[in-house]
Amino acid sequence: MAIPDQLPCEAILESIADGVFTVDLDWNVTSFNQAATRITGVSRDEALGQKCWEVFHSSLCDGACALRACMDGAPPIGCKSIFIVRPDGEKVPVSISAAALHDAQGNLIGGVETFRDLSELHRLRREVERSHTFEDIVGKSPALDKIFGILPQVARSNATALILGESGTGKELFARALHNLSERAKGPFITVNCGALPETLLESELFGYKAGAFTDAKRDKPGRFHQAKGGTIFLDEIGDMPMSLQVKLLRVLQDKTYEPLGSVRSETTDARVVAATNHDLASLVAEGRFRQDLYYRLNVVQMTLPPCGIDVRTCHYWSTIACAA
């Protein structure tokens, strides 16, 4: 396939969900995409030709400008959280990345900055504070701040996620945050507690059953994976799942297929799986109580929540998703 010499840059910029703008050496805005208009409330025509600080009124415009630092020789800056002020006075939290622009000969010609609206993330953060009195952790824990920093990227990745943490650390709230910040937000969010039901009931709860599958099965009943199509299924206490069901869950993660009880036909699901546990799954694997292949399938993206009131730094992100903000 032939590759064009020049890509339609304007069309590419307009297709990006994040705001993007560029400036020349005099700090005049030279490009401004639709997402930038949506986030800032400033139209493209109003922004072009204006000084960037006249458009954004950000918390960095008074001296600590990330774009200026890059144009002065600093390496590209990524995922820096700031506020911008819209024309109506509303403060909008955003995550920015900045880099210098050079021509083909390596001469500095300006700078580019991308920014992502974090308003929804901040709303969820306030909800966590209100619902679980996490104020001291949110305000003081670098680990939790780091998790909040990667939540938008994890949410948009659609990858299977594993949330680890002690009881009471808000694992379900973070699972809901991943759902609400994802492209599946309009779909269902289905929760199943894998440790609250015996094996037979858990299997029918997850995968459903057909009429006649057992004595009381008078009619077909769809399972939670069926209900979660187009959305997210949250498997809480995954470490308590019986080994026999772990095999069936592995098939769902590998092939997106499962069989309801009493059925001879496979069904499909496109639900995103988010799992959580307060167990050390690696230790359970070593003890032969949890399948290693399932652990690897679940552990694509891992977030470890710090214990309430304790400052820890155990949070890591295992995917190849770049911080695109």
| pLDDT (tens digit per residue) in 213-233 | 666 766 788 889 999 999 999
Q: Per the domain annotation, does 67 fall within a domain?
A: yes
Spatial CB neighbours of 88, under 8 Å, sequence gap ≥ 6: 41
Q: Per the domain annotation, does 325 fall within a domain?
A: no
What is the CATH number for 53?
3.30.450.20
User: Percent of the chain having pLDDT more than 70?
Assistant: 83
Co-location of 112 and 241 in the same domain: no
Co-location of 95 and 128 in the same domain: no
pLDDT of residue 4: 46
pLDDT of residue 134: 33
pLDDT of 306 above 60 = yes
Length of the chain: 325
Q: Of 67, 98, 117, which residue constitutes the final position of a domain?
A: 117
Q: Per the domain annotation, does 1 fall within a domain?
A: no
- Mean pLDDT estimate for the chain: 81
Co-location of 281 and 174 in the same domain: yes
Q: Per the domain annotation, does 35 fall within a domain?
A: yes
Of 76-85, 115-124, 132-141, which gets the smallest average pLDDT? 132-141
Q: Per the domain annotation, does 178 fall within a domain?
A: yes
Co-location of 99 and 191 in the same domain: no
> Which of residues 122 and 164 earns the better pLDDT score?
164
Co-location of 285 and 194 in the same domain: yes
pLDDT of residue 317: 30
* 3-state SS track over the chain: CCCCCCCCHHHHHHHCCCEEEEECCCCEEEEECHHHHHHHCCCHHHHCCCEHHHHHCCCCCCCCCHHHHHHCCCCCEEEEEEEEECCCCCEEEEEEEEEEEECCCCCEEEEEEEEEECHHHHHHHHHHHHHHCCHHHHHHCHHHHHHHHHHHHHHHHCCCEEEECCCCCCHHHHHHHHHHCCCCCCCCEEEEECCCCCHHHHHHHHHEECCCCCCCCCCCEECHHHHCCCCEEEEECHHHCCHHHHHHHHHHHHHCEECCECCCCCEECCCEEEEEECCCHHHHHHCCCCCHHHHHHHCCEEEECCCCCCCCCCCCCCCCCCCCC
Q: Per the domain annotation, does 3 fall within a domain?
A: no
- At 234-278, the pLDDT tens digits run 999 999 999 999 999 999 999 999 988 887 788 999 999 999 999
User: Percent of the chain having pLDDT more than 90?
Assistant: 39
Co-location of 44 and 175 in the same domain: no
> Which of residues 246 and 59 earns the better pLDDT score?
246
> Which of residues 54 and 169 earns the better pLDDT score?
54
Q: Of 87, 117, 147, which residue constitutes the final position of a domain?
A: 117
Co-location of 128 and 213 in the same domain: yes
Q: Per the domain annotation, does 312 fall within a domain?
A: no
Co-location of 138 and 214 in the same domain: yes
pLDDT of residue 128: 59
Beta bridge partner(s), residue 102 = 108
Q: Per the domain annotation, does 163 fall within a domain?
A: yes
pLDDT of residue 112: 92
* Domain enclosing residue 45, as ranges: 9-117
Co-location of 27 and 153 in the same domain: no
Query: What's the CA gap between 158 and 272, in Å, rounded?
Result: 6
Co-location of 148 and 242 in the same domain: yes
pLDDT of residue 167: 79
pLDDT of 211 above 80 = no
Mean pLDDT of 180-184: 88
Q: If pLDDT is split at 50, 70 and 90, which confidence band does 316 have?
A: very low
pLDDT of residue 279: 92
Q: Of 66, 91, 117, which residue constitutes the final position of a domain?
A: 117
Mean pLDDT of 298-302: 93
The total domain count for the chain is: 2
Task: Please state, in angstroms and as integers, the Cα–Cα distance from residue 49 to each residue in 34, 215, 222, 267, following that order.
Answer: 16, 74, 58, 56
In which order are the strands placed within the sheet that holds 189-193? 189-193, 232-236, 272-277, 161-164, 301-304
What is the CATH number for 287?
3.40.50.300
Co-location of 257 and 163 in the same domain: yes
Query: What's the CA gap between 68 and 58, in Å, rounded?
Result: 13
Query: What's the CA gap between 178 and 194, in Å, rounded?
Result: 20
Q: If pLDDT is split at 50, 70 and 90, which confidence band does 28 have?
A: very high
pLDDT of residue 127: 66
Co-location of 112 and 162 in the same domain: no
pLDDT of residue 129: 52
> Which of residues 128 and 98 earns the better pLDDT score?
98
